[in-house]
């Protein structure tokens, strides 16, 4: 009996929603089996990584904090990916956004006022946009592949950060350690839920997702982005400018990455340190794909990924599961989701002995 793929005329709506859930469930099953075989508590690993963060209410605030940056960045990236524009250097734009906000904080060190945080936010967005401007310009003017330029610039951003915190920005009061001074109260995000550690990042992440959803599904711009990505010729015929779309989505993704950088710097970090790059820019790429480039899907994906991060730490302390196991779970989840993609676009057809075909 032979199976083969047959392309669907329309992507399957059912599969679109079923496959991500199936990927997560299958990851749990396979993960439990694999980790049991190699000598760990496989079922315990799945329980701690995927369920404890949800059942233990103490972990909810951690999820909110950990999910926010990749959600904000992933929301922007997914719009760009829809347009077939591959900014994979959001980590660099996140760093530069954080640095721009820090720059404002250092200039307003002795000041206070409500206006400082918004100014830092604007600086963060501008920083992220400025950092993506070079790849954007090269892409539309010279058709330089943005995958490569954005990635290369990420490593340059890390070096800019190191240069600043080891050099001109080094705090005079932290015993020569490479870090800036701590931000003052006017430069730090307030806690929005009394008694928790949840700052502005989480609600902003939700707002970003909702706005992105509205823009992508209800506005002309969203239609334009999707058309340029899926059918560039039709887009040109319809009078959409591919270059303008590319610029717009790159600046959106860069600006959001920069905003995420500002929110992390002024939030959980509270100062600029060499450890600021937290891989959120890369995590966001996974989030965008797990969420199927759909703003609301991204929202769920971001939370799922945050669960695995937080749960991985729980599993370490409770069942002594080694830290790298989390990476294997995350990779497996992504592999399975990407494999499931095929079911959205294709149906499996069985070529029977009678010559007839049965669709599954």
Partner 1 sequence: MSIITRRTAIKIGGAAAALPLIGSRAFAAEKVRAAFVLIGTPDDNGWNYGHDLGRREMIEALGADKVETTVVTNVAEGPDSERVFRELAQQGHDIIFGTSFGYGDAMLKVAKQFPDVKFEWATGYQTAPNLSIYNARFHEGRSVLGTIAGAMSETGIGAYIGSFPIPEVVMGINAFHLAARKQNPDFITKVVYVNSWFDPPKEADAARALIDQGVDVITQHTDGPAALQVAEERGIIGGFGQGADMSAFAPKAHLTSIIDIWSPYYIKAVKSVIDGTWAEGSSWEGLAAGEVVIGPYNEKIPADVVAAAEAVRLGIIDGSVHPFAGPITDNEGTLRVEAGDVIDDGEFWGVDWYAQGVEA
Partner 2 sequence: MSATLLIAMLITMIGASTPILLAALGELVVEKSGVLNLGIEGMMLTGAVVGFAVTYTTGNPWLGITIAALAGAAVSMIFAFLTLSLSANQVATGLALTIFGTGFSALFGSEYTGKPLELFKSIFPASLAEDPYLRLIFGHSPLVYFSFFMVFAVWWFLSRTRAGLILRAVGENDVSAHSIGYSVIGIRYGAVAFGGAMAGVGGACFPLLLTPQWVEGLTAGRGWIALALVVFAAWRPLRLLAGAYLFGLIATMELYTQAAGGVFRIIAPEMWASLPYLATIGVLVIISLGRSANANAPACLGKPFEAGH
Pick from 17, 196, 206, 345: which binds partner 2 (CB under 8 A)? 345
Tell me the two tokens of residue 276: 């600021």
> Does the protein bind partner 2 through residue 88 (CB under 8 A)?
yes
Q: Which stretch binds partner 2 (CB under 8 A): 23-31, 162-170, 226-234, 269-277?
A: 162-170
Question: Among positive and negative, which fits the CA dihedral 35, 39, 44, 48?
Answer: negative
Q: Which stretch binds partner 2 (CB under 8 A): 10-18, 24-32, 177-185, 326-334?
A: 326-334
Closest separation between CB of residue 162 and partner 1, Å? 7
The CA distance from 99 to 187, in Å, is 13
- Per DSSP, what are the bridge partners of residue 4? 349
What is the residue whose two structure tokens read 């991204």? 298
- Per DSSP, what are the bridge partners of residue 5? 348
Closest separation between CB of residue 323 and partner 2, Å? 8
Tell me the two tokens of residue 300: 């769920």
Residue 327 touches which member of partner 1, partner 2, none, C-beta under 5-8 Å by kind: partner 2
C-beta of 5 vs 166, nearer to partner 1: 166
Dihedral class, residue 76 (left if φ above 0, else alpha if ψ from -120 to 50, else beta)? alpha
Helix (H) or strand (E) holding 10: none
> Does the protein bind partner 2 through residue 339 (CB under 8 A)?
yes
Q: Would you tell me which residues interact with partner 1 (CB under 8 A)?
A: 44, 47-48, 52, 55-62, 65-66, 162, 166, 174-178, 182, 193, 195-197, 264, 267-271, 273-276, 278, 310, 313-314, 316-320, 322-324
The CA distance from 149 to 199, in Å, is 33
Positions in 250-289 near partner 2 (CB under 8 A): 282, 285-286, 289
C-beta of 142 vs 360, nearer to partner 2: 142
Closest separation between CB of residue 82 and partner 1, Å? 30
Candidates 118, 104, 83, 65; CA nearest to 251 is 83
Residue 331 touches which member of partner 2, partner 1, none, C-beta under 5-8 Å by kind: partner 2
* 26-to-287, 326, 334 alpha-carbon distances in Å: 18, 15, 11
Q: Which stretch binds partner 2 (CB under 8 A): 17-25, 122-130, 157-165, 216-224?
A: 157-165
Closest separation between CB of residue 110 and partner 2, Å? 29
C-beta of 63 vs 336, nearer to partner 1: 63
* 74-to-64, 70, 88, 234, 290 alpha-carbon distances in Å: 15, 5, 11, 27, 10
Q: What is the DSSP letter of 191?
A: P
> Does the protein bind partner 2 through residue 18 (CB under 8 A)?
no
The CA distance from 207 to 110, in Å, is 32
> Does the protein bind partner 2 through residue 334 (CB under 8 A)?
yes
Kindly write down the DSSP assignment for every residue of 211-258, as one continuous string. Answer: HHHHHHHHSHHHHHHHHHHH-HHHHHHTT--HHHHHHHHHHHHHHHHH
C-beta of 43 vs 134, nearer to partner 2: 134
Binding mask 136-155 for partner 2 (x = CB under 8 A): --x---xxxx-xxx-xxx-x
C-beta of 131 vs 276, nearer to partner 1: 276
Sheet holding 357-359, edge to edge: 2-7, 346-351, 357-359
Give the binding site for partner 2 (CB under 8 A): 7, 38, 86, 88, 134, 138, 142-145, 147-149, 151-153, 155-156, 159-160, 162-163, 167, 282, 285-286, 289, 322-328, 330-332, 334-335, 338-339, 341-342, 345
């Amino acid at each position: 009996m032979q199976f083969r793929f047959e392309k669907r005329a329309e992507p399957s709506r059912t599969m679109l929603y079923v496959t991500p859930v199936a990927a997560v469930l299958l990851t749990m099953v396979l993960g439990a089996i694999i980790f049991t075989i190699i000598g760990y508590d496989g079922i315990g690993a799945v329980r701690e990584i995927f369920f404890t963060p949800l059942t233990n209410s103490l972990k909810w605030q951690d999820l909110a904090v950990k999910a926010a940056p990749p959600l904000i960045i992933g929301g922007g990236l997914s719009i760009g990916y829809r347009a077939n524009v591959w900014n994979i250097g959001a980590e660099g734009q996140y760093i530069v956004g954080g640095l721009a906000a820090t720059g404002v904080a250092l200039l307003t060190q002795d000041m206070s006022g409500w206006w400082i945080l918004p100014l830092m936010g604007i600086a963060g967005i501008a920083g992220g946009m400025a950092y993506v401007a070079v790849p954007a310009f090269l892409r539309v003017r010279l058709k330089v592949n943005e995958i490569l330029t954005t990635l290369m610039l990420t490593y340059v951003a890390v070096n800019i950060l190191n240069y600043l915190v080891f050099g001109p920005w080094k705090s005079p009061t932290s015993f020569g350690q490479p870090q800036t001074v701590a931000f003052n109260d006017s430069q730090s995000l307030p806690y929005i839920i009394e008694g928790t550690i949840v700052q502005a990042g989480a609600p902003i992440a939700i707002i970003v997702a909702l706005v992105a959803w509205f823009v992508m599904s209800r506005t002309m711009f969203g239609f334009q982005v999707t058309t340029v990505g899926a059918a560039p010729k039709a887009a040109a015929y319809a009078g959409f400018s591919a270059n303008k779309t590319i610029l717009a989505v790159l600046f959106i993704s860069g600006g959001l990455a920069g905003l995420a950088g500002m929110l992390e710097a002024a939030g959980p970090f509270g100062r600029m340190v060499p450890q600021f790059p937290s891989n959120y820019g890369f995590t966001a790429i996974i989030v965008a794909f797990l969420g199927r480039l759909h703003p609301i899907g991204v929202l769920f994906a971001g939370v799922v990924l945050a669960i695995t991060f937080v749960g991985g730490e729980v599993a370490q302390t409770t069942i002594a599961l080694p830290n790298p196991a989390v990476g294997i779970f995350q990779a497996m989840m992504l592999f399975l989701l990407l494999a499931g993609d095929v079911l959205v676009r294709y149906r499996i057809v069985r070529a029977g002995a009678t010559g007839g075909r049965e669709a599954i």
